[in-house]
Structure 1
Amino acid sequence: MGMSAWKRAGVCVAAVTVVAGVAGCQAGDGGARDKAAEPKVLSRSEAAEVLQAAFKKTTEAKSAKVRMTMSMPSGMQGMGDMVGMAGDGTMEMTGVQGWDPAVMDMTIKGSGFAGTGPDAPSEIRMIMLDNIMYADMGAEQAAEMDGKRWMKLDFQAMAEESGSKELQKQMTGSLESMNQDPAQQLALLLESPNLKHVGPQKIDGVQAQHYKGTLTFEEIIKGNESFDFLSEKERKELVADAERSGVKGYDTEVWVNEDDYPVKMVLGMESDEGTVDITTHYSDYGAQAEVEAPPAKDTVDLFEMLQGFEEGLTGIGADA
């Protein structure tokens, strides 16, 4: 495989990191406030009842179409480097997400890929099935890989092969983050001590009720199941790291339609460098999420490639 294909592989890994980072966070434009009437503003307990009903309906739906946008200020270039994004960049994800079982078929594009270098793609299609990610590397790169344009990224297998318990725990957490569904985000918002009902707004042409709340990083970890693999000591270290990096908290919002489904979720992550904004729109709840893995004949396994590369280096060392 040529050097440009190896670079594209790195971009695909970065794209997976983006998916893992934002799939567990839901966050955009406020929509138009309905001023035709003066609706009753619900109390916290009443708002919690509505979100609990939405949680139940969303859990049972098991799938939805998704449109997500993530933007990052230039002051957070360090974080951008970590996820393969350019500071002051934008990433857009569109496609379908299913839960129970967890599946995903998303196309990722945007200026954020500029942070990965001059050969960065304009977009990457990502498929997740059975906790394995597949990335479409494009026709150009397929020419360097015997016509195989899909890269298989089985991070769990890589972690298990390494024998590192720490790496296995990290990958378990990342996969659980990618598996997060809107129902889990509702559960997180219900943990907010200052949950409140804002009022009615039209979102994507439908009437919805707007709710919001604020969570500290510590509260996010406590209420998010994807952090259950961490020990108490590791949780404390994670909170301390967030505090040192200037992460102040999360402003979380949700708009629930008249059928008790969330149609938009918003998260703003505040820090000393600026705010990361994530906006997610949902539609077509309950539509069957028909996600299929690419044909094996069109797929190259990154794990096997890395093993072959390592064996090649070992052979060169032995010859020397």
Structure 2
Amino acid sequence: MRKAITAALAAGVLVATAACGSDDSSSDGDAKAEKSAEGQGGGEADDAADAADAGDATTALRTAQEKSEEAGTVALTATTSIEVPGEDMSMSFELSGVTGWDPPAMDVTIDMSDFFAMLAEAMGTDPAEAPDAVQQTRLVDNVMYSGGELVEAQYGEGKWSKLDLGEVDVNDPRLGQSAEALKSSQQMSAAPFQQLALLLEGGDVEHVGSEDLDGESTEKYEGSLTAEDLQGLDDASEHISEAYVASLLAVLENMGADTFEFTVWIGEGDLPARVDQQMVLPEGDHLTSTVYEEYGVELNVEAPDEADVVDILEAAGGR
């Protein structure tokens, strides 16, 4: 049971956020889309119509990918809900704030109180006594800072923890259980274009209609990605990092699933307004819904005062 709950948490954090993407453009997805459209012909009217629809969906998502990548930053709210496989338990957590990818940076708040309440119940203790698990996370110059009650409980009131992502080895035994959290944190510079790139380069997508989303007129698209699709992605893709793909594959394996299902809403300015990512599990379900609120917002992230910062590696036994 503990393994299932831990896997659920890791999956939630990873799927709630996308990896840092390269700033370079790639035409691989366009070439694949054109090849796919050509291959769907066959001379039949229905096949030709299907190919045209697929081409329209690909064009729309490619435009959204390019425009969101150009924006550089976005304010977002991501809500993840999980039913733990094999257990009569469910939980959710929320990430909100501003993230950027040119350069990678973020200032977000993650509320995992529901998760810790569920964990307490699973361990036979009173959920009401679970800690307040609201954590602020900042990424500044490739250094990850975390603050909140859980950090203060370990290092002292007013303290922040830090990890230099350029120096740390996630397999370092001194990190203990923090290793998985670090792996997740490395994916937390959310980029909506990364999600669209996955669909464009690895999966099938179709336009399923128009929908009013919180007062905004949007076009809705659906697609899916299997583990086989992820394994077959071009290693040279300029939009999708190998680390991100490896993390998604690990999530599928840990959760006993094989497929991610995507729903994408494209709104004003041809920008993604919302992206849902769902895993179909042997038992239960896992859904992350990310609402992209505003693109191109100012993001000036500052590191905490050095006197209040504890280096996790140093605290764990020195460098």
User: Which residue of structure 2 aligns with residue 92 of structure 1?
Assistant: 94
Q: How does 1:133-152 map to 2 (within 5 A)?
A: 133-138=144-149, 142=152, 145=155, 147-152=157-162
What one-letter code is carried by the residue in structure 2 that aligns with 1:113? Answer: F
1:108 counterpart SS class: strand
After TM superposition, the structure 1 = structure 2 runs for residues 1-320 of structure 1, keeping only pairs within 5 Å, are 19-24=13-18, 43-75=53-85, 87-109=89-111, 110-115=113-118, 117=120, 118-138=129-149, 142=152, 145=155, 147-159=157-169, 162=172, 177-191=187-201, 193-223=203-233, 225-227=240-242, 242=252, 246-307=256-317
Contact 1:177-1:226 within 8 A present in 2 as well = no
User: Could you give the per-residue CA deviations for residues 56-89 of structure 1, whole angstroms, max 9, x where no partner exists?
Assistant: 1111000110100001103266xxxxxxxx9511
Residues 195 and 212 of structure 1 are in contact (CA less than 8 Å); yes or no, is this contact kept in structure 2? yes
Bigger mean CA offset, 16-25 vs 105-114? 16-25
Structure 1 residue 184: Cα displacement: 0.9
Aligned counterparts of 2:290 and 2:138: Cα–Cα separation in 1? 18
- Uncovered stretches (5+) of structure 2, i.e. residues with no partner: 1-7, 20-49, 121-128, 175-179, 234-238
Change (3 A) 1:148 1:187: same
The residue type paired with residue 70 of structure 2 is E
CA positional deviation for 1:198: 0.9
AA of the residue aligned to 1:281: V
Q: Which moved more, 1:191-200 or 1:140-149?
A: 140-149
Q: Is the 8 A contact 2:105 2:140 kept in 1?
A: yes
Which amino acid counterpart does residue 74 of structure 1 have in structure 2?
V
User: What TM-score comes out, normalization by structure 2 length?
Assistant: 0.70
The answer to whether the Cα contact below 8 Å between 2:85 and 2:281 also exists between their aligned partners in 1 is: no
Identity %: 30
> Once the 2 structures are TM-superposed, how far is the Cα of residue 158 of structure 1 from its aligned partner?
3.0
1:172 Cα offset (Å) = 9.7
Give the deviation of 1:147 after TM superposition.
4.4
Instruction: For residue 214 of structure 1, report the CA deviation from its aligned partner.
Output: 1.2
Q: Which moved more, 1:299-308 or 1:56-65?
A: 299-308
- RMSD of equivalent CA atoms: 3.8
Maintained 8 Å contact 2:170/2:182:
no
Shift of 1:148: 3.7
Partners of 2:12 and 2:82 within 8 A in 1: no
| Partner Cα distance (1:195, 1:219) in 2 | 13
Name the SS of the counterpart of 1:60 in structure 2. helix
How big is the shift at 1:240? 9.8
Q: CA deviation at 1:248?
A: 2.5
TM-score, length-normalised on structure 1? 0.69
Pair 1:299–1:15, CA change in 2 (3 A): farther
What do the CA deviations read for 1:248-269 (whole angstroms, capped 9, x no partner)? 3011111011311101000101
Amino acid at match of 1:24: A
**Residues 94 and 106, structure 1, Cα contact 8 Å, conserved in 2:** yes
How far apart in 2 are the matches of 1:161 and 1:115? 28
Deviates more, 1:207-216 or 1:187-196: 187-196
Structure-2 residue corresponding to 1:29: none
SS across alignment from 1:263: strand
Could you list the per-position Cα deviations for residues 183-204 of structure 1 after superposition, in whole angstroms to 9, with x for gaps in the alignment? 1111112135431001111112
- Residue 120 of structure 1 aligns with an amino acid whose one-letter code is P
Counterparts of 2:268 and 2:295, CA distance in 1? 13
- Out of 268-277 and 175-184, give the one that drifted further: 175-184
Rate the CA distance shift 1:16–1:157 in 2: closer, same or farther, 3 A: farther
What is the Cα deviation at residue 161 of structure 1? 9.8
Shift of 1:151: 1.3
The DSSP-based 3-state class of the residue aligned with 1:157 is coil
